[in-house]
């Protein structure tokens, strides 16, 4: 290093003796030192202590000591050497003392040297390198002496000086000695990173960030293993700390940068493996990326990055089961459910084929065959060496468990997760049931030992839960009168078995309570729901289910207390024992009125007002069947949940509370509470960061220009439509966040004499509501807001404020004119103002969208029966065959069917329908189970 510098300076320096002797000493040291090695490894491990510089073997130190004595003499006798030259020579001497294992003396010499980056002139590139080397060697010497604190301080100085030196060299425009500076700088920063791991994690992160900043400029072939080691080390620090509550963005940014940089490195230094081998470096990287995403919350935002990394890895891996496993979870969290389903099919097929053969043995045979082929090509001598290499390779593979086959445990967990994907998101419970049954087969035939031990019952419980929820979902989907009882019983048996195997699983208890409630076994369901809340009092959906069950026992005061406790829990985040105060006996407030479709004597109500009250309880005031929900993030990887699902869950429980308030205090009290409910939705939607999903159609524009309403628009400022004067609605803009909706002309249906077919029926104009332009929006949030307006419309109608009710329905139609709930609610409004023809047109339009829309079917059959025309009775009876399918648990449907039988003189069937309707009515809650998700 110094010889080239000495020759370059020539006569410009008067201190040739000191410089020359320093150069000769350096040459001597280099010739005697063992060559530094930077071994490569398929799986870089993080060392427990920083590697130090090598020392000269004892037998070879005499010449080094002689050279060091000469350098010391030159330094002591020199009178005209420049300060920079003398300092550089002292650094060489200190390094030499370290090389001959004189660690304490090396520390003393280096303490007296100037080790900071030079500020003025008179230096060259090698001076910068020596300043970094001085700090690094001092740290190594302290490390050898056991002074870990002093070593860390020296390494820190070495890394900082290298950072300064690099900037100085860059600003000067020169690249001289840059390779040597990089070599020493990398050693310094590497040592600093490893040594800092024993101290404060935040300080260690600073060290790692410095290394990774500089490594981004290096060639991928430069000390690849060490760079990967620092990436892994930094990642382990990130994983250990997790995102902070105060500044999670910084954590996620660090993780994303680390993922990106490490991906570039592994892609440049690895390739698609030959048959029988795996790309261990790349697979380890994929595991660490997936683990980091999980620790970061396994959210939708990070899922997109994970998906991209997994897809990129397909060029460097072959039929990787773990890649597909990670991809399945990330695609699900991202909301790409169809892709997740395809990945699940591919994963299952690949894993099944692996188990049909001894995949590990096949891989070994492939490696052995390749070795023999290479040996034949190379000749006998080289063939023997290759055979030895193969044996070493095989031993290493066995030692490192170098394979890409998922264990039985991993396979079973992925299958049970896939059951949830198919049932909850893809609407294919039959596919989910296949996966759950395959999980059971793998569990029963497991031989690799991963499904044994203390966790065996927990894993079996998960399988039983998956079987139970899949059977329940399949029963609800097919709605087959012949198979429903058997499947319901089987689903219940699996869920009860799951709860027995793992009594501490609140998720299982939630699903069990849901299934029992669906079967109208309220007391048993209440007990399990209460236990679920006790196990996890932070989960909103458990509280919601508990509140619905208490309301089903007609104890509305206790139900309101449960729901309010849940919301208080949400605000405070503190535990409570309120759940345990809910009694399974159902004793409550006897004076609270219960909405019922029957008169006191059990006869048919005589007017449409009473009919309407019963139909309102049929879930026309809220979502019917699709709104999802989830867990309070106990395991975000097993139960992924995005911002929109959180919003839906939070709003749905408040809607249930509002319905309970109306049942207790009347519609006026409910309307007052709805003001806070709308304000909450507006505020909460601000936190939704999900990307737009399915386009929702807006109603067509009139001749007026469009008006854009941003997400921040105040909902409370949009109550115009429910306070407008009769017959003269003002031009309006939609309340839907992020929607662009035309300003409306006065409604074509504002006049009671207006007649229209269902194809032209609209609250906003006389045209076709289906002709609007598509707008990008969050369709689930739009549905939720639509249901809020319908909830408000029903309360206004029951309060006798019919024009306000119509305005609220008009707001709902503006948001989603294709929603059958809108037209069912509009039918009830028209019944309230004695416009039966328009009501009939409205429900026919609702059924055009969803032929099995139960509220519309009940309304239409009621209209047929109220017509007092005998020829209409068969039409009503035909519609009410829905009781054998989707409407098997709807008391209104059975009641209307009993009327059909009464009108046709079939007394026994009439009595059976009335008894069943009464039993269903007695066990129903204020809202149906559609406001909760079947699967967390």
DSSP letters spanning 684-708: HHTT--PPP-S-EEPPPP-SSPEEE
Contact present, 885 and 915 (Cβ < 8 Å)? no
Instruction: For residue 210, give the nearest of 149, 144, 270, 165 by alpha carbon.
Output: 165
Instruction: For residue 808, give the nearest of 785, 834, 835 by alpha carbon.
Output: 785
Report phi then psi at 741, rounded to 5. Answer: -125, 140
Contact present, 543 and 574 (Cβ < 8 Å)? no
Lowest-confidence range among 40-49, 58-67, 424-433, 516-525? 40-49
Q: Give the pLDDT mean for 300-315.
A: 91
Q: Give the pLDDT mean for 597-618.
A: 39
Of the two residues 177 and 703, the one the predictor is more confident about is 177
pLDDT at position 364: 53
Task: Find which of 223-227, 558-562, 722-726 is predicted with most confidence, using mean pLDDT.
Answer: 558-562
pLDDT at position 702: 31
Report phi then psi at 708, rounded to 5. Answer: -95, 130
pLDDT at position 142: 93
Instruction: For residue 919, give the nearest of 887, 897, 894 by alpha carbon.
Output: 894
pLDDT at position 697: 34
Lowest-confidence range among 19-33, 546-560, 746-760, 910-924? 746-760
Can you tell me the distance from the alpha carbon of 257 to that of 289, in angstroms, rounded to the nearest whole number? Answer: 11
**Beta strand pairing call for 740-742 and 774-775:** unpaired
Lowest-confidence range among 296-305, 520-529, 688-697? 688-697
Say if residue 131's pLDDT is above 60. yes
Contact present, 333 and 299 (Cβ < 8 Å)? yes
Instruction: For residue 732, give the nearest of 714, 710, 749, 747 by alpha carbon.
Output: 747
Say if residue 718's pLDDT is above 50. no
Q: Which pLDDT band holds residue 108 (cuts at 50, 70, 90)?
A: very high
Of the two residues 407 and 448, the one the predictor is more confident about is 407
Instruction: For residue 121, give the nearest of 159, 91, 83, 158 by alpha carbon.
Output: 83
Instruction: For residue 505, give the nearest of 409, 634, 413, 650 by alpha carbon.
Output: 634
CB-based contacts of 311, cutoff 8 Å, min separation 6 = 327
Q: pLDDT per residue over 220-255, tens digit each? A: 888 888 999 999 999 999 999 888 887 888 888 999
Say if residue 910's pLDDT is above 50. yes
Say if residue 715's pLDDT is above 70. no
Question: Crossing angle of helices 103-111/83-99, nearest 10°?
Answer: 170
pLDDT at position 874: 84
Q: Give the pLDDT mean for 359-367.
A: 52
- Tell me the torsion sign for CA atoms 771, 773, 779, 783: negative
Of the two residues 784 and 359, the one the predictor is more confident about is 784
Say if residue 588's pLDDT is above 50. no
Query: Is the pTM value of this prediction over 0.85?
Result: no
pLDDT at position 525: 93
- What's the chain's average pLDDT? 78
Contact present, 684 and 651 (Cβ < 8 Å)? yes
CB-based contacts of 716, cutoff 8 Å, min separation 6 = 675, 678, 679, 682
Q: Which pLDDT band holds residue 919 (cuts at 50, 70, 90)?
A: confident
Of the two residues 238 and 79, the one the predictor is more confident about is 238
- Tell me the torsion sign for CA atoms 500, 501, 502, 508: negative
Question: Crossing angle of helices 16-32/83-99, nearest 10°?
Answer: 20
Lowest-confidence range among 39-53, 189-203, 332-346? 39-53
Burial class (CB in 10 A: 0-12, 13-18, 19+), 11: exposed
CB atoms within 10 A of CB 585: 10
pLDDT at position 604: 36
Q: Which pLDDT band holds residue 120 (cuts at 50, 70, 90)?
A: low
Contact present, 926 and 548 (Cβ < 8 Å)? yes
Lowest-confidence range among 168-172, 632-636, 706-710? 706-710
Contact present, 436 and 462 (Cβ < 8 Å)? no
Q: Give the pLDDT mean for 50-62.
A: 88
pLDDT at position 43: 56
Question: Crossing angle of helices 201-215/178-196, nearest 10°?
Answer: 160
CA distances from 603 to 600, 614, 865 (A): 8, 13, 14
Q: Where are the alpha helices (DSSP H) in 379-505?
A: 380-400, 408-420, 429-444, 456-478, 484-501
Say if residue 655's pLDDT is above 80. yes
Q: Where are the alpha helices (DSSP H) in 116-275?
A: 125-145, 148-172, 178-196, 201-215, 224-241, 248-269
Say if residue 582's pLDDT is above 80. no
CB atoms within 10 A of CB 44: 20
pLDDT at position 766: 44
Question: Rg of the chain's alpha carbons, rounded to an integer?
Answer: 38
Q: What angle do CA 791, 792, 796 make, to 5 degrees?
A: 120
Q: Any idea how long the chain is?
A: 936
Report phi then psi at 626, rounded to 5. Answer: -120, -15
Say if residue 934's pLDDT is above 80. yes
Contact present, 416 and 439 (Cβ < 8 Å)? yes
Percent of the chain with pLDDT over 70: 75
- Tokens coding 64: 């080094």
Report phi then psi at 380, rounded to 5. Answer: -65, -45
CB-based contacts of 361, cutoff 8 Å, min separation 6 = none
Of the two residues 177 and 676, the one the predictor is more confident about is 676
pLDDT at position 381: 54
Can you tell me the distance from the alpha carbon of 556 to that of 659, in angstroms, rounded to the nearest whole number? Answer: 10
End-to-end CA distance of the chain: 66
pLDDT at position 324: 95
Of the two residues 299 and 617, the one the predictor is more confident about is 299
Q: Give the pLDDT mean for 400-422.
A: 86
Instruction: For residue 206, give the nearest of 192, 219, 216, 218 by alpha carbon.
Output: 192
Task: Find which of 159-173, 424-438, 641-655, 920-934 is predicted with most confidence, using mean pLDDT.
Answer: 424-438
Contact present, 251 and 241 (Cβ < 8 Å)? yes
Percent of the chain with pLDDT over 90: 38
- Which H or E run includes 741? strand 740-742
Exposure letters 662-683 (e unless 16+ CB within 10 A, then b): bbbeebeebbebbeebbebbbe
Q: Which pLDDT band holds residue 396 (cuts at 50, 70, 90)?
A: very low
CB-based contacts of 866, cutoff 8 Å, min separation 6 = 608, 836
């Amino acid at each position: 290093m110094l010889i080239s510098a000495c020759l370059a300076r020539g006569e410009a320096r008067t201190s040739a003796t000191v410089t020359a002797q320093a150069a000769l000493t350096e040459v001597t040291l280099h010739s005697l030192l063992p060559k530094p090695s930077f071994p490569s490894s398929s799986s870089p491990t993080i060392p427990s202590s920083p590697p130090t510089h090598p020392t000269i073997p004892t037998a070879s130190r005499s010449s080094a000591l002689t050279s060091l004595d000469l350098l010391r003499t030159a330094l002591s006798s020199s009178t005209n050497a420049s300060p920079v030259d003398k300092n550089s020579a002292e650094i060489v001497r200190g390094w030499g003392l370290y090389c001959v294992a004189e660690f304490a003396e090396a520390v003393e010499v280096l303490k007296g040297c100037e080790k900071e980056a030079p500020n003025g002139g008179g230096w060259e590139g090698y001076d910068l390198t020596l300043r970094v080397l001085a700090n690094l060697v001092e740290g190594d010497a302290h490390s050898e002496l056991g002074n870990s604190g002093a070593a860390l301080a020296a390494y820190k100085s070495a890394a900082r000086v290298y950072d300064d030196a690099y900037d100085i060299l860059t600003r000067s425009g020169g690249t001289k000695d840059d390779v040597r500076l990089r070599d020493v700088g990398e050693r310094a920063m590497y040592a600093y990173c490893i040594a800092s791991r024993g101290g404060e994690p935040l300080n260690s992160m600073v060290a790692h960030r410095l290394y990774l900043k500089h490594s981004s400029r290096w060639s991928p072939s430069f000390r690849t293993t060490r760079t990967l080691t620092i990436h892994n080390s930094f990642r382990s620090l990130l994983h250990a700390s997790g995102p902070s509550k105060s500044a999670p963005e910084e954590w996620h940014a660090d993780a994303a940068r680390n993922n990106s940089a490490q991906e570039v490195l592994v892609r440049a230094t690895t390739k698609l493996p030959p048959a029988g081998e795996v790309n261990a470096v790349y697979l380890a990287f994929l595991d660490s990326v997936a683990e980091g995403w999980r620790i970061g919350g396994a959210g939708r935002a990070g899922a997109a990055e994970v998906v991209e990394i997994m897809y990129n890895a397909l060029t460097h891996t072959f039929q990787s089961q773990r890649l597909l496993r990670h991809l399945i979870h990330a695609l699900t969290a991202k909301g790409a459910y169809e892709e997740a389903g395809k990945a699940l099919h591919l994963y299952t097929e690949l894993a099944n084929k692996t188990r049909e053969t001894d995949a590990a043995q096949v891989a070994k045979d492939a490696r052995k065959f390749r070795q023999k082929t290479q040996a034949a090509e190379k000749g006998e001598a080289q063939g023997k060496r290759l055979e030895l290499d193969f044996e070493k390779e095989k031993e290493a593979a066995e030692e490192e468990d170098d394979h890409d086959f998922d264990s039985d445990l991993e396979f079973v967990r992925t299958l049970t997760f896939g059951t949830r994907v198919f049932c909850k998101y893809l609407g294919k419970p039959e596919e989910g049931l296949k996966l759950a049954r395959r999980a059971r087969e793998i569990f029963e035939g497991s031989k690799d030992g991963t499904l044994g031990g203390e966790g065996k019952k927990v894993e079996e419980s998960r399988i039983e839960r998956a079987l139970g929820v899949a059977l329940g979902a399949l029963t609800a989907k097919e709605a087959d009168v012949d198979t429903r009882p058997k499947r319901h019983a089987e689903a219940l048996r699996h869920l009860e078995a799951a709860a027995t195997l793992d009594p501490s699983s609140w998720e299982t208890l939630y699903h069990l309570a849901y299934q029992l409630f669906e079967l109208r076994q309220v007391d048993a369901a209440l007990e399990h729901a209460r236990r679920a809340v006790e196990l996890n009092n932070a989960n909103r959906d458990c509280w919601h289910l508990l509140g619905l069950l208490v309301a089903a026992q007609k104890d509305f005061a206790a139900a309101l207390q449960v729901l309010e406790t849940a919301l208080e829990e949400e605000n405070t985040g503190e535990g409570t024992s309120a759940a345990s105060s809910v009694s399974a006996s159902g004793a409550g407030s006897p004076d609270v009125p219960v909405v019922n479709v029957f008169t006191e004597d059990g006869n048919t109500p005589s007017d449409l007002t009473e009919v309407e009250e019963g139909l309102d309880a049929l879930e026309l005031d809220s979502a019917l069947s699709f709104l999802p929900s989830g867990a309070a993030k106990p395991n975000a990887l097993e139960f992924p949940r995005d911002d929109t699902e959180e919003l839906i869950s939070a709003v749905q429980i408040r809607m249930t509370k509002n319905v309970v308030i109306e049942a207790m205090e009347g519609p006026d009290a409910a309307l007052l509470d709805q003001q806070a409910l709308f304000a909450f939705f507006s505020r909460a939607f601000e936190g939704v960061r999900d990307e737009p999903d399915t386009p929702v159609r807006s109603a067509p524009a009139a001749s007026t220009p469009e008006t854009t309403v941003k997400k921040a628009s105040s909902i409370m400022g949009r109550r115009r439509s429910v306070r407008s004067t009769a017959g003269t609605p003002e031009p309006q803009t939609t309340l839907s966040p992020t929607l662009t909706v035309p300003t409306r002309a006065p409604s074509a249906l504002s006049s009671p004499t207006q007649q229209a077919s269902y194809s032209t029926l609209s609250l906003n104009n006389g045209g076709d509501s289906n002709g609007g332009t598509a707008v990008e929006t969050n369709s689930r949030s739009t549905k939720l807001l639509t249901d809020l307006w319908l909830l408000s419309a029903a309360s206004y109608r029951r309060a006798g404020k019919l024009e306000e009710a119509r305005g609220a329905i008009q707001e709902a139609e503006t948001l989603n004119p294709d929603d059958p709930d809108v037209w069912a609610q509009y039918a009830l409004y028209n019944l309230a103002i004695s416009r039966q023809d328009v009501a009939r047109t409205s429900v026919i339009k609702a059924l055009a969208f969803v032929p099995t829309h139960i509220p519309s079917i009940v309304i239409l059959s009621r209209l047929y029966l109220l017509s007092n025309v005998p020829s209409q009775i068969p039409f009503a009876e035909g519609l009410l065959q829905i009781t054998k399918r989707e409407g098997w648990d709807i008391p209104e449907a059975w009641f209307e069917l009993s009327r059909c039988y009464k009108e046709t003189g079939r007394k026994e069937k009439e009595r059976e329908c009335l008894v069943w309707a009464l039993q269903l009515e007695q066990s129903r809650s204020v809202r149906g189970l559609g406001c909760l998700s079947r699967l967390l």
